[in-house]
Structure 1
């Protein structure tokens, strides 16, 4: 990963910037930094595609600071020098922290025109309104804005926000910006910025939509592509791999009913081996909620099952405040662990973040030792981004994807085609040794029974589990690699064992599965609990449930509608009356037809009675039309025409 010393950059970097980099313990540049920084400083637009964890943030932060420092004329209070656009709040906050770290190190004797002004964070969800963003901008006069596209556009269109002197625009994780639907805000944002600027697009993957954005927003950009070159054993050909060289990728196969037990065994093994941080990715927010709540309550009763593990949860449906607090707590956990003695590694705590893809890319979570993909991602491109949360900045890391036995094993070959090679990891036995998966894992079954007892102790866990199961099945049915991840091949009874459910939920997918497996013996004991007596562990919720039951029992049974029989009788009577009217008209038509036939065979002057019949028929037709238009009541029609019958 080393691509030269920082002192070799031309034009040379400022001393105080080199001092900050040295304090971060980055003695050598990464390839993306060595390629991008000189290009930026020589007035080039840059499109950088580099593997995750390759140091892209410093690759644009340092040039921005150098460009603003070297301005001949200082920026005025309300003039912007640089704008950095990020896809998520967390990434924007992280970038802002890095910039502030450099700005705090500026020497006091810096000339006014060479002093870089403050940085302002412009994101939603932090109880800061667009009006507050504008007020802070007017008060502080920042030189650099960092934020998400929507809020950035809101601020740039305000009066007095001057962009005519802007030097640099950077779009970090640019492909993610487009994936999240920010195309229109980005186009609007570009309209507020001068065309004579330096622009940088940084991403781990290049997409067609990103190529279109390059054509719209950049002028003759230089493309920087940093990949890992690997040579297979016994092969003369080299392959480009979109993974850090220090990342070891594994896959682990087990039957569905043993998957959760295997996750806990993997984490306990990692804790024993000295790992301090782990990230576990799930497919849905409901799964994260359920597994976190289940393990948290289970640990209180059975601490041995999760010995040495501490859990956090993070997903997109949490409040911004909670997501921020979780992110900070996990990021700063075990900050000094790397410098401590490893003699007590067997008793060391491993902090585990249970999350969705909200933490899959862009975030720099320090010192993550292992990433476990409990559920393979729906979008295959996300696979490498998840793995990239470990093995960052040259550190060694491990990534493990858990697969169900059977068709899902084809995912390994699929990733091989995508230039992501995986090595197998054998089944972990209850003794935490490696071996073959037993025909019946008694320890996993015991854990399942224990978890189900924990679920029985709290109705809230039961409800969370049902939601998690439903959300997983729905997500599985929509997997992009659906020729591998086929819902029809997924044994839902064994999956219910994995979720420690008490019974299978009522949903179309389960009904179809029951039809296909009607006579098959099931591993799952589908025992529906009595919902009238199933209590919440939380006393407030239980009191609300009991009160609702009491109101339901005290309410009188709904009486049958008094008008229902009358309405039914009225509808039947109306139908009968219409049938009789049709019969009368049919008889009159028949008489008219016979009369016309008689007139044709023996022509004669029309008698007064015949003329009367003709007039009666015409009158009846007119009356029927009036009745259909609502101008004549059915009773009046009956009185006039039925009396003649």
Structure 2
């Protein structure tokens, strides 16, 4: 006979959630206590999740409620504290915990206590031994005095000491190799400007014959062309050039100019028509003007400089540069014989032939191929110190190139589910350091990921405000509203208050949509984003704001900002997504620790195969320190109470993650953006070079865990390519169907997998060529042509 009170199928007994702690033996008692508490914590988490899962799927029963209460009471012997109300869970929905189901990291945390106080001698700083000055390098006194007094450059760097005398005294082609931040731009600009300035003086032969110097003007001709791979670098070189030519007591007839993509051709043609003596350009736009602008006279060009040669080749400019050099050779009117030079007495100080200079931080195969195209019997110039292992071969050049010695590199192994809260923790910790206005750059793999994270950290607070209230209410100050005299002191920025005692809202520097406040990180921080999909005026304004703002500032960007840009006083580089090649890593971290200044860089890696990146790349570029993930979260979410009860910061991190997930669920546009960023991230992950496929294999990604780092509770069912085309995706590991994103060929329109190994084996070109194929196919389908921001 059946009892009416019998529970059918199963019953949850009072001891169902009893925590059984294993016995630990051996070792120190602190280690045993630590292991015991960790086991108890995980058991409590699993019990709570199991109970909440049953509540969501079934009607609550007194037995389950009692079990939940009992488990929560056992969490701590302290008095219960007020906690935010748990998120409402839909019937049948299960919210994954951040702290369960994560793979364990294989390596051990590095003991960095001895490294904190160790300061390496800067390897790219100006020479402090007094062995050389700008005057002793052969520069004119006017230009040397201008560098010292107006530009505050007291001494040259090692590469400048090696290269400038050679470039001034000889007319040979040159290959210049030096590490990032060592002053390569001035290395090739100073000899060019110095020799053009000498045209204002009469040559010795003319002085003996009683002749006067020919008057030089902006119409005298175009003497030098500098090619740069990106618009931002082109603009930066042009700015440096403008500061050089405006010397006191120097010639003022020299006119620089710049042409680059994204600008109006009509205004560029007008400037070229008026006359330019030194031109800075991107390859595509220069070729366009050479073919279509009649007023651009290149018959007297004496110098052609190819800056960031490795990047020029990676972006596929080999053909374009070959066409440019062919046109310059065809239109050149320079004297080829000694008797023809008689009519060029007024330009006796310039090279008798066209000189080509190639500048690159590395000497890869593609750079050597560019050298074969542009250089003839070139000099190989390198810094005298820091390159003892560098040689003339490709292998020797790559092995000899290192990151700046004073740069402190580290990495942290973070599971996929914890990536977003990990980024928040590191950013919050970095912004509370005792720095007047810290500058931080965060690198992502694709533009969609930049857009999503920009929205996450610039969203409004839950109370509708965009600025957090201050900690203890400070006393009102007598400082005026607009005073910024104390902004340079090494203290945390003071929050300005309105009459009600709340932080006063300060207007943004402009109406730039790529600049916003970051109230979740710091009351006065400005957040910037930069990628190739933004219009050029927005990109220019964003870089200017990031470089010149006095507030704490952050820049979320793709690799479009990784090469050549000299952004002043960058304190920290965060590589949230690992780079696509070793060279990209070196250039990314080269945005800090420039010209002898200190800097820090940290990289996020996933547990498992990605940890092999440490031995394969990081240790070959320096001495990286592994940060403890628990310490990162404790310092980021624990605030001042980092020594209080253990694991309390986990609750704060969980609540922050749930807040982001609620924000994503509440807005369809945000949900679409997060799904788009998730898919673009996976597609970008497949484009790592072949030599790194074992470490970055998209088949090993856990799509569900990765989706949580984008604020999505369930992994989307497919990976969609903007503009059309989709593949079905899985939620777990090993689903190869969803991992291989499809791309459309520009000619035949046939679909092909990103896993196809039919591209050239050159590791330096493989990743970018894949991205360019995808981007071009998107353009053909009217999608986002610059998803991976390669130009």
Same fold (TM over 0.5): yes
**Residues 34-56 of structure 1: per-residue CA shift (max 9 Å, x gap):** 11111110123221111111111
Question: Structure 1 residue 329: deviation in Å?
Answer: 0.9
**Residues 364-389 of structure 1: per-residue CA shift (max 9 Å, x gap):** 11110000000001223100100001
Q: Does 1:20 align with 2:155?
A: no
Instruction: State the match for 2:695 in structure 1.
Output: 484
Q: Aligned partners of 1:149, 1:365: CA distance in 2, in Å?
A: 23
Instruction: State the match for 1:352 in structure 2.
Output: 554
Q: Which moved more, 1:76-85 or 1:158-167?
A: 158-167
Question: Structure 1 residue 106: deviation in Å?
Answer: 4.4
Instruction: State the match for 1:246 in structure 2.
Output: 406
TM-score (norm 1): 0.71
Q: Aligned partners of 2:455, 2:404: CA distance in 1, in Å?
A: 34
Question: Structure 1 residue 172: deviation in Å?
Answer: 1.0
Q: Does 1:124 align with 2:261?
A: yes
In the superposition, relative to structure 1, how do residues 176 and 74 fare at CA in structure 2: closer, same or farther (>3 Å)? farther
Q: Aligned partners of 2:657, 2:709: CA distance in 1, in Å?
A: 7
Question: Structure 1 residue 393: deviation in Å?
Answer: 0.9
**Residues 443-487 of structure 1: per-residue CA shift (max 9 Å, x gap):** 322111011122233221111000001111122233222201122
Instruction: State the match for 1:307 in structure 2.
Output: 522
Aligned pairs for 1:514-593 (under 5 A) are 514=732
Q: Aligned partners of 2:373, 2:686: CA distance in 1, in Å?
A: 37
Match of 1:395 among 567, 584, 597: 597
Aligned pairs for 1:242-281 (under 5 A) are 242-275=402-435, 276-281=438-443
Q: Aligned partners of 2:649, 2:609: CA distance in 1, in Å?
A: 20
Question: Structure 1 residue 510: deviation in Å?
Answer: 7.1
Match of 1:184 among 316, 319, 330: 319
Aligned pairs for 1:430-509 (under 5 A) are 430-431=637-638, 433=642, 441-480=650-689, 481-507=692-718
Instruction: State the match for 1:200 in structure 2.
Output: 357
In structure 1, the gaps of 5 or more residues are 232-238, 335-348, 518-645
Q: Does 1:2 align with 2:126?
A: yes
8 Å Cα contact 2:146-2:248 kept in structure 1? no
Higher-helix-fraction structure:
1
Question: Structure 1 residue 59: deviation in Å?
Answer: 0.7
Q: Does 1:86 align with 2:228?
A: yes
Question: Structure 1 residue 419: deviation in Å?
Answer: 3.7
Number of corresponding residues: 488
Q: Aligned partners of 1:474, 1:434: CA distance in 2, in Å?
A: 41
In the superposition, relative to structure 1, how do residues 417 and 293 fare at CA in structure 2: closer, same or farther (>3 Å)? closer
Instruction: State the match for 2:563 in structure 1.
Output: 361
Match of 1:317 among 510, 513, 533: 533
Counterpart secondary structure, 1:163: coil
Question: Structure 1 residue 66: deviation in Å?
Answer: 0.4
Counterpart secondary structure, 1:441: helix
8 Å Cα contact 1:84-1:147 kept in structure 2? yes
Q: Which moved more, 1:382-391 or 1:290-299?
A: 290-299
Q: Aligned partners of 1:63, 1:376: CA distance in 2, in Å?
A: 38
Match of 2:186 among 40, 46, 58: 58
* CA RMSD in angstroms, aligned pairs only: 2.8
8 Å Cα contact 1:254-1:403 kept in structure 2? yes
Counterpart secondary structure, 2:582: coil
TM-score (norm 2): 0.58
**Residues 246-291 of structure 1: per-residue CA shift (max 9 Å, x gap):** 2111111122222221212211211121341000001110000011
8 Å Cα contact 2:134-2:155 kept in structure 1? no
Q: Aligned partners of 1:229, 1:502: CA distance in 2, in Å?
A: 50
Q: Which moved more, 1:321-330 or 1:393-402?
A: 321-330
Aligned pairs for 1:66-215 (under 5 A) are 66-71=194-199, 72=203, 77=219, 79-107=221-249, 110=251, 116-126=253-263, 128-129=264-265, 131-139=266-274, 141-157=275-291, 158-193=293-328, 194=332, 196-215=353-372
8 Å Cα contact 1:282-1:288 kept in structure 2? yes
8 Å Cα contact 2:234-2:281 kept in structure 1? yes
Q: Aligned partners of 1:259, 1:132: CA distance in 2, in Å?
A: 46
8 Å Cα contact 2:362-2:401 kept in structure 1? no
Question: Structure 1 residue 512: deviation in Å?
Answer: 3.7
8 Å Cα contact 1:279-1:372 kept in structure 2? yes
Q: Aligned partners of 2:413, 2:375: CA distance in 1, in Å?
A: 46
Q: Aligned partners of 1:280, 1:420: CA distance in 2, in Å?
A: 20
In the superposition, relative to structure 1, how do residues 451 and 248 fare at CA in structure 2: closer, same or farther (>3 Å)? same
Q: Aligned partners of 1:178, 1:8: CA distance in 2, in Å?
A: 36
8 Å Cα contact 2:449-2:678 kept in structure 1? yes
Q: Does 1:285 align with 2:494?
A: no
Question: Structure 1 residue 498: deviation in Å?
Answer: 1.3
In structure 2, the gaps of 5 or more residues are 1-124, 204-213, 335-352, 390-398, 469-519, 720-726, 736-791
Instruction: State the match for 1:566 in structure 2.
Output: none
Question: Structure 1 residue 169: deviation in Å?
Answer: 1.5
8 Å Cα contact 1:281-1:356 kept in structure 2? yes
Question: Structure 1 residue 300: deviation in Å?
Answer: 6.3
In the superposition, relative to structure 1, how do residues 288 and 416 fare at CA in structure 2: closer, same or farther (>3 Å)? closer
8 Å Cα contact 2:699-2:733 kept in structure 1? no
Instruction: State the match for 1:331 in structure 2.
Output: 547
Q: Aligned partners of 1:377, 1:415: CA distance in 2, in Å?
A: 11
8 Å Cα contact 1:314-1:323 kept in structure 2? yes
**Residues 131-165 of structure 1: per-residue CA shift (max 9 Å, x gap):** 442322122x1111111112212333443433332
Counterpart secondary structure, 1:223: strand
Q: Aligned partners of 1:198, 1:300: CA distance in 2, in Å?
A: 61
Question: Structure 1 residue 57: deviation in Å?
Answer: 0.9
Instruction: State the match for 1:228 in structure 2.
Output: 386
Q: Which moved more, 1:454-463 or 1:80-89?
A: 454-463
Q: Aligned partners of 2:388, 2:310: CA distance in 1, in Å?
A: 25
In the superposition, relative to structure 1, how do residues 274 and 483 fare at CA in structure 2: closer, same or farther (>3 Å)? same
